Amino acid sequence: MIMSWLDEVKFDADGLVTVIAQDSASARVLMVAWANREALAATAASGAAVYWSRSRKRLWHKGEDSGHHQKVVDIRLDCDGDVVLYAVEQTGGIACHTGRESCFFRRLEGEQWQTIDPVIKDPELMYGATGRK
């Protein structure tokens, strides 16, 4: 039997692995999501980020609602095999469903989380009043 690169990824009990998306230009960490085997295979084959949506329990092609797709230019695996790192070109410069560049828009300042990044695009314009991501 030929080993696949997917066999070296250690999926958890739910069949998922943590995925970090990092902007290939700015190097900013944009978001963290999950992938199953099928999502990783689809990402590698298509060159566009595909995740597993735990809330919707289905494959989630990043940008399918928002238009903010991610072109994946590099895929890395960590030493334990349980975290994958995508380097991405982020369409629109917006990865977060809040309309911000990155999901990491809150910084600990003293004893409080402060929102320090601007909303680039109103989420209602991205999804209408109901959608998400």
Q: Interface with its own copies by CB under 8 A: which residues? A: 4-5, 8, 18, 20, 22, 26-29, 31-32, 44, 74-80, 83, 85, 96-98, 100, 103-108, 111-113
Q: How far is the CB of 67 from its own copies (least distance, A)?
A: 19
Q: How many residues does the chain have?
A: 133
Taking the complex as a whole, the smallest distance from the CB of residue 85 to its own copies amounts, in Å, to 5
Q: Closest CB to its own copies among 54 and 64?
A: 54
| Cβ(36)–Cβ(50) below 8 Å | no
Residue with smaller CB distance to its own copies, 20 or 59? 20
With CA atoms as reference, report the closest residue to 14 among 32, 39, 46, 49.
Answer: 39
CB of 104 to its own copies, least distance (A): 4
Residue number with CB closer to its own copies (22 or 70): 22
**DSSP state string for 45-88:** HHSB-EEEETTTTEEEETTTTTS--EEEEEEEE-TTS-EEEEEE
* Distance separating alpha carbons of residues 90 and 21, to the nearest angstrom: 9
